[in-house]
Amino acid sequence: MRPDNAIRPTRTGKHVSLFSGSAAIQNEKMNIFITGASGYIGGSVAIALQHHGHHIIGLTRSREKAHALQQLGISTIVGSLDDSDLIETAARSSDAVINAADSDHAGAAHALIRALDDSGKRLIHTSGSSIVGDSAAG
C-alpha cells in the first residue's frame, strides 16, 4: 500500500474510521491531534494528513519545534506528555487522536483513553522507529 493511501481519516456516523475506502466519505476533513508531531513518525503522519486537507494540531515540547511546525501550517500545542489536563483537553476537542510520541508513557496513554472514552472517536497508538533498530552502534 502506498503511504498516501495508508491514512485517510473519515467519519461514518458516530465512529471515525481512519481506513475507509469510500471516496465520498474521504472528502470530509477532520481535526486530528497528534502527539510527537515534531518527531520522525508523528511528523510524517502529520504532513501526510495535512496533504489530504485535514487540520492538524501537534503536541511538541519546545517553542522552536512548534515554530517549525507552524511554518508548515500545522497548529501547535507546546507541552509535555506529563500534562494530562492539556492532553485530555486537546484530545476531546479533536475528531481523532494519534499518539506518536513515547509509546511507553503510560500516563499519556491513559489520559488519551480517558479523554476519548465513550466518544466514538479513534485513538491510534504507535510505537517509535527505534523498534526496528538495535544498539549495535554500527
pLDDT tens, residue by residue, 103-113? 889 999 999 99
Which range, 1-10, 15-24, 50-59, has the best average confidence (pLDDT)?
50-59
**CATH number, domain containing residue 65:** 3.40.50.720
When comparing pLDDT for 74 and 21, which is higher? Answer: 74
Q: What is the 3-state secondary structure (H, E, C) of the chain?
A: CCHHHHCECEEECCEEECECCCHHHHCCCCEEEEECCCCHHHHHHHHHHHHCCCEEEEEECCHHHHHHHHHCCCEEEECCCCCHHHHHHHHHCCCEEEECCCCCCHHHHHHHHHHHCCCCCEEEECCCHHHHCCCCCC
Residue 65 lies in a domain: yes
Residue 16 lies in a domain: no
Residue 5 lies in a domain: no
When comparing pLDDT for 96 and 134, which is higher? Answer: 96
Domains contained in the chain, number: 1
59 DSSP β-pair partners:
35, 77
Residue 15 lies in a domain: no
pTM of the model: 0.77
